[in-house]
Structure 1
């Protein structure tokens, strides 16, 4: 059996009786300094233990989010009408999607980028199958030629004014002309403009009266507008309510559409008193015409993780565009790749990796405005985007947890003169590599070891310094005593 005396023999910390020790002023001061040093170093070590350390490496993209990449955007085009604005996607694998509408919304805006109404429902890209009639005989001009000087007079005189805005050089306008004139003749015979006056068909040559066409935001030829006379003149600052016609363009279809318009108007009056019953949300042949020539496009698209293009342009399968008049100037409010991070995720990202996130939305707030003149006509704006994925993971108990992921990109923009209709093109190229940021866990045992080293080291160094001071003072006293003797 081990006795207490044998147990005491292994004591590393043998005690010296208190009455055999001697306290000193220098020792007290040094003890206070040592205690403060221990507290300071302990605080620094604790802060270092609580601070997250990360390691960054570049690896082959090992994404788990399938083969598709989401692109979010909010872009304002002050000079591109929502009527023909189309969001298209293509890639090097042959994918080619035109006029994406399911996940894209459009809002008419004024030149100052302010919204002018509710969401603009443009429907599919205008496309007609029966377009015009074959010219069998020389036809006469039956529709009324309208200009800036007489347009308002005719629009106030007739309950419905249907206008064909055209250009003589336009292929589609020339195909429409025979049908339009025959339809005008038929409607004139059935509804005499002088005796009945409920409907009149007119036409505007946009090469002769560009100001009138610009005032009604005409960007594609031919554009058929339906103007109605009613209370909107008083409530909408003198402007008439109007729609765009996108139906078939042969004589039979046009006459049927005109008859539908007239059917809603009482014969005994020349003013619009009833709403056109054919103008239902499901009527694809007629939709509200844009109130302004600007458009804000927002939403998202999903693309494959291969080099491709997102293009915003004026597009139609049954209209012509004057390339010199199309202006794709735009202001980017948002353009990013991948899932949109929540505010909590952004806070976590900044806490772990403060240097990340700066390139998540690099194009935000940038403007690309083209001042129209002869030297700036037919200008396409191209953006070249190099996309790199960053993944942040945490390692705890030998397991790896993905905290969040973010896509960052670099952007280079340029202006290109082209003979084609100008577009705004975003060429994106995802990188096959990704940046992997790993959270490096810290060992608690390492923290305790460092704390012990701090306490023991400071205590030992302070003891050495105290011993040196004490022996030095004793030596000084001995020398003084020797001199006196």
Structure 2
């Protein structure tokens, strides 16, 4: 059995009895300084150990989100009605998706971008409706009562139901509707005599002759059939009119059926009474029209990761538009690509922000206007070049992605067009991606440095203390020699 004495012989830290040691004031001061230096250097080493060390490289895109790219947007158009606003997506391979609605919301807004109503639901099937009877009139005038800015309010408040066709003589669809509208107006006048019955009247407004009246009622497509009810056609919030619009078939029979549906709840003897509070059950083809001339379009679309474009425009399979009166000025509230980064994730990973390019909001909060003397037929285009940035962590011997985002640069331009003005967002995704890798520091390296700090400071302090003490002794000897 090994004796205790032999074990003690391998002691690296042999002790000197306290009776043989002497404490000094200078030694105590140096010990305090050394301790503070150890704490300071330890804090710096710990901060360096916890700091994120990264390196950046450019590699071929190895996206984990598949072959499709999500595009989120929130864009406001003060002069484009939700009634006709359309979002289309296409790419260089010829894939086109028109008038997307499933993931898109449209909210009517005023000139100050404030919402003026609930979400507007697009009317579908306009390209399948019956567009009217064969032309049975040789003249070009409408048989319906022509309304002007001076007579419109008078008629709209006199008749419980006023159905108005806002048209343009040059419009193909207006001319298709004209025979049916004339015949329906004639039959309606005979059946519901304005002087005897007085419950309904069919009128028409030529928007080329009455542009102010059409603008006041937010008419952007021709023809637009609007329904005004006495007592409810009052100015509401923001000074807009409440009205309904007819989107059904445009043959004579369908128009007369619409009139019959509108008159069902109104008795002949009560037509002079106010209609406030009356609930009218009309055909499904009669719907609320937007109460303002602007639209906020928000939502997302998915596109292939190849060059393509998102186009926002006025579109209808049964209306014409006056390109010279269209204004595609817009305000971009938000535009981003890829998965949205949640606020919680950004909060938890603030250390990553310095390594991200912060260029994913190049268009956010900006106006794009077409104005001046050459403002007609102006298309606004945005060219977006997109690159993916990914931050990868290699801690604990495993590699996993912490965050992925798509950054982009944007160049915008306005151009005159021979077609209807639109707002185009061209996008092109780079086949390369920026890879930012986190390089964690070794814990053993951290411990080694801490030990080096403690041992080094202790040793240096001991050397300084020894030099100080020897200097004091030498000075005392010199002084003692002089005295002798």
The Cα shift of 1:204 comes to: 0.9
Cα distance in 2 between the residues matched to 1:308 and 1:482? 97
Aligned equivalent of 1:26: 26
Q: Secondary structure at the match of 2:117?
A: strand
Deviation of the 1:397 alpha carbon = 3.0
Question: Helix, strand or coil: the match of 1:389?
Answer: strand
Per the alignment, residue 152 of structure 2 pairs with 151
Determine if contact 1:183/1:255 at 8 Å carries over to the other structure.
yes
The match for 1:178 is: 179
Of 277, 280, 294, which residue of structure 1 is paired with 2:281?
277
Structure 2 equivalent of residue 189 of structure 1: 190
* Residue 399 of structure 2 is aligned to residue 395 of structure 1: no
d(CA) in 1 for partners of 2:451 and 2:472? Answer: 31
Show the counterpart of 2:432.
433
Match in the other structure for 1:465 = 464
Task: Tell me, in whole angstroms, the C-alpha distance in 2 between the residues paired with 1:237 and 1:384.
Answer: 36
Does the aligned pair in 2 maintain the 1:232–1:238 contact within 8 Å?
no
- Structure 2 unaligned regions, length at least 5: none
Deviation at 1:128, TM superposition (A): 4.2
SS of the equivalent of 1:374 reads coil
Instruction: Please give the TM-score of this superposition, normalised by the length of structure 2.
Output: 0.92
Q: Which residue pairs with 1:109 in the alignment? A: 109
2:383 paired residue number: 384
Structure 1 contact 106–121 (Cα < 8 Å) conserved: yes
Structure 1 unaligned runs (5+)?
Answer: none
8 Å contact 1:394–1:401 — kept in the other structure? Answer: yes
1:446 partnered with 2:445: yes
Q: Distance in 1 between matches of 2:370 and 2:218?
A: 18
Matched residue, 1:305: 305
Secondary structure of 2:320's aligned partner: coil
SS in 1 for 2:194: coil
More moved, 326-335 vs 356-365: 356-365
Matched, 1:407 2:406: yes
| Partners of 1:293 and 1:470 in 2: CA distance | 92
Q: Distance in 2 between matches of 1:30 and 1:444?
A: 31
Contact 2:389 2:405 (8 Å CA) reproduced: yes
- For residues 234 and 41 of structure 1, do their structure 2 counterparts lie closer, same or farther at Cα, with a shift above 3 Å needed? closer
Matched, 1:363 2:363: yes
| 1:54 and 1:352 in contact (8 A); partners too | no
- The alpha-carbon distance between structure 1 residues 125 and 375, as it changes in their structure 2 partners (threshold 3 A), is farther
CA contact (8 A) 2:308 2:426 kept: yes
User: Judging changes above 3 Å, is the alpha-carbon distance between structure 1 residues 118 and 251 closer, same or farther for their aligned structure 2 residues?
Assistant: same
Greater mean alpha carbon deviation, residues 9-18 or residues 414-423: 9-18
Q: Is the 8 A contact 1:125 1:315 kept in 2?
A: no
1:247 is displaced (CA, Å) by: 1.8
Alignment partners' CA distance in 1, 2:353 and 2:289: 49
CA contact (8 A) 1:232 1:239 kept: no
Q: Secondary structure at the match of 1:376?
A: coil
Could you report, residue by residue, the CA deviation over 1:53-88 in whole angstroms, capped at 9, with x for unpaired residues?
Answer: 333322222122222222222221111111111111
**What is the CA–CA distance in structure 2 between the aligned matches of 1:244 and 1:229, rounded to whole Å?**
15
Choose 100-109 or 416-425, whichever is displaced more.
416-425
Pairwise CA distance, 1:442: 2.5
- Counterparts in 2 of 1:419 and 1:188: CA distance versus 1, 3 Å: same
- Cα deviation, 1:422-459, whole Å, max 9, x if unaligned, reads 11111122222222233322322111101100011111
Change (3 A) 1:225 1:128: farther
1-structure distance, mates of 2:234, 2:474 = 111
2: CA distance, partners of 1:68 / 1:238: 44
CA deviation after TM superposition for structure 1 residue 342, in Å: 2.2
Deviation at 1:237, TM superposition (A): 9.9
In the other structure, the counterpart of 2:261 is 260
Distance 1:183 1:304 in 2: 49
Whether 1:314 aligns to 2:318 is no
The question of 1:80 aligning with 2:84 is answered no
Distance 1:63 1:125 in 2: 38
The CA distance in 2 between the partners of 1:73 and 1:198, in whole Å, is: 46
Q: Secondary structure at the match of 2:228?
A: strand
Looking at structure 1, the residues matched to 55 and 241 of structure 2 have their Cα atoms a distance apart, in angstroms, of: 65
Query: Which residue of the partner structure matches residue 345 of structure 1?
Result: 345
> 1:207-231 deviations in whole A, cap 9, x for unaligned?
1111000000011111111112135
Q: Choose 208-217 or 265-274, whichever is displaced more.
A: 265-274
- In structure 2, relative to structure 1, the CA distance for the partners of 1:221 and 1:239 (3 Å cut) is same
Q: Which moved more, 1:149-158 or 1:331-340?
A: 331-340
